[in-house]
Structure formats: structure tokens, C-alpha cells
Amino acid sequence: MYPAQFDYRRAGSVDEALGLLQEHEDAKLMAGGHSLIPMMKLRLAQPPVVIDIGRLDELKGIAEAGGSVRVGSLTTHADIAASDVLAAHCPVLAEAAGHIGDAQVRNRGTIGGNIAHADPGSDIPPVLVLLGASVHLQSPSGTRSVAAGDFFQDLLMTDVGEDEILTHVDVPALGAGTGSAYLKFEHPASGYAVVGAAASVTVQNGRCTAAGLVVGGVGAVPTAVDVSSLVGTDLSDDAIAAAASGLDAEDPIGDIFASGDYRVHVGKVYGKRALAAARDRA
Amino acid sequence: MTVSIQLEVNGKPVQATVEPRRLLVHFLREDLGLTGANIGCETSLCGACTVLVDGDAVKSCTMLAAQADGASVTTIEGLARNGDLHPLQEGFWEKHGLQCGYCTPGMILSANYLLAQNPSPSDEEIREGLKGNICRCTGYHNIVEAVKYAAERMS
Ligand SMILES: Cc1cc2nc3c(=O)[nH]c(=O)nc-3n(C[C@H](O)[C@H](O)[C@H](O)COP(=O)(O)OP(=O)(O)OC[C@H]3O[C@@H](n4cnc5c(N)ncnc54)[C@H](O)[C@@H]3O)c2cc1C
Ligand code: FES
Ligand code: FES
């Protein structure tokens, strides 16, 4: 099984890649190729031109500065999972990346490709929304950033424009007293998340001062759950279960493996467990 | 359109001209005659096609040969040294880590990557490390034993 014919261009810089995008209509960027190549093999995608950006070192790497962590779009899931900087400042992102697929997929797949592809079963989107990350994009006319919560627009649809490259994400560091967790109910064959829950809670003097929960795999885009009822409580199991049961998706996605109703149910269960795990780590 | 590529395969320099859509696994098997990397699912799930690219375990059915330009690729054919089996190959033999053998080259290269990252993995870590490799015969138990055998020999 192989893709339809296409022309291959390798970009040596972000500017060159942007130029190639301008030059070739319907061209596709390729980072790790771990969503694009499977789609091309199934002929679900048949781009006339593929622009390989996989070697742009300027888009790789993880660095902390001024209270947030910048992760280059071409950073692999394996590097994110193994990052000491993320373990110290945003452990939940490293945790989620470590749950992606398998070792081989993590060696090739990148964070930029993951969120640009925006599969509802992806592990990274709910974490970025939970953390309030910003996604940075570059086009010939300049750079801009968009909040992760606005970046994901619909199934496989994001705010990346046709002439834009995603350069990096900025993830605010979690403060002291904050615990976080990502829990995933995995599809047994593909390894993708059927449902994934990302949670964080901040505890001061035994009381919760802030809490967040975002669930992937239930709606077309990550679903934020209002868990503000936890603020001021001692985060008892009952309070957590009540808060997580607020998960509501107007039009849940469903497929042959898991119906919409089932996904909502599993989302509540995993949301509860993720909040409890975050509490225990706070 | 064709792309010229230069890479190293099992320590030897290789130069070739390929169609952009040539997958690395077809390039290895059909152009270079290295049929150790097997094609199982063709959909990135089974791991039979796993090879090392610059030391990283990669599914060669999900990578273009053009993407491997400049890289160093290792296939199962490149593991034995002067006729001596690699400790992982020996382990799969000694511990009966294979039956039909279809998954074995991929298993061994994934295990090789795992041991490079973590020289003395627990049973659990071995199973997690080999999650991307499916075996329809053995039930995995003896594969875990084979990897432990190799880990001891290599330490
Ligand atoms: C067997 C298998 C199992 C998987 N399991 C999981 C899983 O459990 N959880 C999970 O989250 N994911 C999973 N994935 C997906 C994996 O994480 C992919 O690597 C990822 O979704 C895409 O990243 P990539 O770098 O390979 O992108 P590519 O495939 O190269 O690109 C994907 C899309 O993003 C666009 N793109 C890429 N980079 C940029 C950029 N910098 N700017 C703008 N557009 C860009 C491309 O044009 C393309 O449309 C799995 C994949 C496979 C093959
Ligand atoms: S043939 Fe490559 S993963 Fe199955
Ligand atoms: S030995 Fe037959 S598939 Fe593994």
C-alpha cells in the first residue's frame, strides 16, 4: 500500500517552507508523517506536493523562560515524554506524550503535527487546553498566536491558515501546590484515546484554590468541564465525582467502537479519576 | 519526479534515486534486497517493519525513503557481527521467542532500541517497550524472556 504520486520538496528553513507553500497550491507540510503518510496510503489525502519540514532544527526543542515552557512544533513525542524541563514545570504534558501510540510512533510523531491534524482521539489537545497554552503560527505576513482553547475548531479542523506554519507552543508552568494528571481510556488496537482526561488542582492549606478538567474524545474538540465547585472544598472523593459528572457534550462524537453516550459516561469516570490523581500529586 | 538519496544501511553507504512515494520498507526490501523488515499490516500498527533510523526504532512502512536521506539505518541483517549472533538474536533462539518468525525482526529491533534506552528493564517495561509490535504466535511470554536474556548478556 503506497501513496498516490506527489512531488517532494524539502525545506531548509521556515522561510523556504513558507515560500514553497505560497508557490504550490494544495501542498501539504510533512513533519513526522505519522498522520499524513497513513492518510496518503489510504488515499484519503492526495496532495500534489509534499513539503518536508522534518529537518528544521529551528522548530525543535524545549526551553523554559519567564514562567512558561516553549515547545518547538517539530519536537517529537519521545523528546517531550523524556524532558526534564517539562517534568519540572508541566509534567502533565510529558505524561500525555508518553501515552501516545507506542515507542516507534513517539519517535517520529511531533507535537505540531499532532495538534495541526487535530484527531479527536489525540492525547495532546486536551492537555494544551487545560494548561491554557498558546499556539504560535508564522506566515509570510508575520507571526501570531492563538489560545489553545480557540485553536481547535472542529473534527480535524484548526485555526492553521493555508499559508501558515505552526512554529511552537508556549505552555504556562504549573505553580507550587498544583498537581496534574492525564488519564486515557485507550483504543485497544490503534492506541489512540477513546477518551482522555486532563486535570489539574491547586491546593493551599488543605483547601482547593483552583481546578481544571478538559476531556478529549467526547466532542469534536476538547471539552472543558466547569469544576469551579471544587474551589474551597477539601477535594473529597464525593466533591470530585460531583464536579466530574458535569461533563456535558451537546453533540458527542460516536463511532463503531464507542457511541456518543458511552464516551460521555467514560469521560465522567476518567475525569473523576484524573482529578483524584491530580489531587494526590498536589 | 525522483529524489536522490544517500544514506548508510547496516554500516554501508548507499546511493539511490527513488520516487517520492517510495516507502522506506519497500526501498529496503525491493531495492536493496534486505527482506528482514517484514510488511504485516501496512497501516502502522503491527511493527513487523520496524528498523532503526539513527538509533530510533521506526516503522519503515510509515516513512518515506526520501525522509531517510542522510540517515543511518539498521535492519535485522545488520545486527550479527562476523557471523556471531547479536545477544538479542541469541536470546530469541535460546528462549524460544519466536514461532513463525514473522514479527521477530521488528521485535528484535524494538527490543534493541528499548535496551539502548533502558539496559535493565522490568517485565512490565519490556511489555510496554514492545507495545508497537504484535505477535500472533508466541503469546509474548518467551519474547519477554528473550529480551531479559539479552539484557543480562549485554550488561
Ligand atoms: C499507529 C499510530 C498510533 C497513534 N497513536 C496516537 C495516540 O495514541 N495518541 C495521539 O495523540 N496520537 C497518536 N498518533 C498520531 C501521532 O501522534 C502523529 O504523529 C501526530 O498526530 C502527527 O504528527 P506528525 O509529526 O507525524 O505530523 P504529520 O503526519 O507530518 O502531519 C499531520 C498534519 O499536520 C500538518 N502539519 C504538521 N506539522 C505542521 C506544522 N509545523 N505547521 C502546520 N501544519 C503542520 C500536516 O500538513 C498534516 O496535515 C498515532 C499515529 C499512528 C501512526
Ligand atoms: S507493516 Fe509497518 S507497522 Fe505493520
Ligand atoms: S512468531 Fe509468529 S507472529 Fe510472532
Residue that finishes a domain, picked among A154, A172, A190: A172
Instruction: Say if residue A107 is in the same domain as residue A125.
Output: yes
Give residue A120 CA to ligand 1 midpoint distance, Å: 12
Q: Which residues line ligand 1 (CB under 6 A)?
A: A 28-36, 38, 73, 100-101, 105, 108-110, 112-114, 116-117, 122-124, 160, 165-166, 190-193; B 44-45, 62
Assess whether A161 and A241 both reside in one domain.
Answer: no
Amino acid at A220: A
Which pLDDT band, with edges at 50, 70 and 90, does B147 fall under?
A: very high
- Residue A144 domain-assigned (yes or no): yes
Give the number of the atom of ligand 1 that is nearest the alpha carbon of residue A165. 42
Give yes or no: residues A85 and A185 share one domain. no
Q: Which residues of chain A have pLDDT under 50?
A: none
Nearest to A93 by CA among A80, A103, A82, A84: A80
Strand-pair partners of B8: B13, B72
Q: Quick one: A45 and A62 in the same domain?
A: no
| The predicted structure's pLDDT at residue B66 | 98
Find the mean pLDDT for residues B29-34: 98
Q: Which residue segment(s) compose the domain that A90 sits in? A: 57-172
Q: How far is CA A92 from CA A67, A98, B51, in A?
A: 16, 10, 30
Distances (CA, A) of A110 to A131, B14, B33: 19, 28, 31
Pocket test for ligand 1, best of A1, A14, A34, A157 (most atoms within 8 A of CB): A34
pLDDT at A257: 94
Residue A1 within a domain: no
| Chain B interface includes A5 (CB < 8 A) | yes
Q: Is residue A205 part of a domain?
A: yes
pLDDT at site A79: 98
* Rounded CA separation A227/A207 (Å): 14
- pLDDT band at B34; cut points 50, 70, 90: very high
CB contact (8 A) between residue A1 and residue B58 = no
Phi/psi at A256 (5° precision): -60, -25
User: Do residues B9 and B28 make contact, with C-beta atoms less than 8 angstroms apart?
Assistant: yes
Q: What is the CA(B6)–ligand 2 centre distance, in A?
A: 24
The reply to whether A35 and A61 lie within a common domain is: no
Nearest CA in chain B to A42: B43
Q: How far apart are CA A91 and CA A75, in angstroms?
A: 16
Ligand nearest the Cα atom of residue B29: 2
Average confidence (pLDDT) over B62-84: 97
Contacts of A208 (CB under 8 A, 6+ apart): A201, A202, A230, A231, A232, A233, A234, A235, A279
Q: Does B57 touch chain A (CB under 8 A)?
A: yes
Q: What is the pLDDT of residue A249?
A: 83
Number of domains in chain A: 3
Amino acid at B39: I
Considering only CB atoms, which chain A residues are within 8 Å of B64?
Answer: 8, 33, 37
pLDDT at residue number A164: 98
Same domain flag for A191 and A274? yes
CB B20 within 8 A of CB A6: yes
A79 and A14 housed in the same domain? no
Half-sphere exposure of A169 (CA within 13 A, CB side): 31
CATH number at residue A190: 3.30.390.50
**B134 pocket-lining for ligand 2 (C-beta < 6 Å):** no
Using the mean position of ligand 3's atoms as its centre, give its distance from the Cα of residue B45 in Å: 15
- ∠ CA A129-A80-B107, nearest 5°, is 125
| Centroid of ligand 1 to alpha carbon of B135 (angstroms) | 25
Query: Ligand 2: which of B26, B28, B44, B58 to mutate, most ligand atoms within 8 Å of CB?
Result: B44
Computed over every residue of chain B, the mean pLDDT equals 97
| Interior angle at CA A11, CA A22 and CA A152, nearest 5 | 65
Is some CB atom of chain B closer than 8 A to the CB atom of A37? yes
Could you give the CA distance from residue A136 to residue A172 in angstroms, rounded to a whole number? 14
CA B154 to chain CA mean position, Å: 18
Q: Is A62 in the same domain as A161?
A: yes
Atom 49, ligand 1: which residue's CA is nearest? A117
Provide the residue type at A254 as one letter. G
A2 Cβ under 8 Å from any chain B Cβ:
yes
Interatomic CA distance for residues A230 and A59, integer angstroms: 39
User: String of b and e for B30-43 (b: at least 16 CB within 10 Å)?
Assistant: eebebebbbbbebe
Last residue of a domain, one of A172, A188, A220: A172
The tally of CA atoms less than 13 A away on the side-chain side of residue A191 is 21
- Contact between chains at A189 and B45 (C-beta distance less than 8 A): yes
Angle between helix B87-94 and B104-117 (nearest 10) = 120
Q: What is the CATH number of the domain that holds A17?
A: 3.30.43.10
Asked if residue A2 belongs to a domain, the reply is no
Q: Which domains does chain B have, with CATH numbers?
A: 3-77 (3.10.20.30), 87-154 (1.10.150.120)
CB contact under 8 A, A105 and B56: no
- Give me the pLDDT at residue A235, please: 98
Examine the domain organization and report whether A64 and A162 are in the same domain.
Answer: yes
Q: Are residues A62 and A133 in the same domain?
A: yes
Closest CA to A173 of A94, A59, A249: A94
Read off the pLDDT of each residue in B133-150 and give the average, rounded to a whole number: 98
A103–B110: do the CB atoms touch at under 8 Å? yes
Give ipTM to 2 decimals: 0.97
pLDDT tens-digit series, residues B36-48: 999 999 999 999 9
Do A89 and A40 share a structural domain?
Answer: no
**CATH, residue A85:** 3.30.465.10
List b or e across B104-116, with b for residues whose CB sees 16 or more CB atoms inside 10 angstroms: bbbbbbbbbbbbe
Contact A86, A76 (CB under 8 A): no
Q: Per the CB < 8 Å rule, is B64 touching A5? A: no
Q: Are residues A190 and A151 in the same domain?
A: no
Predicted local confidence at residue A56, as pLDDT: 98
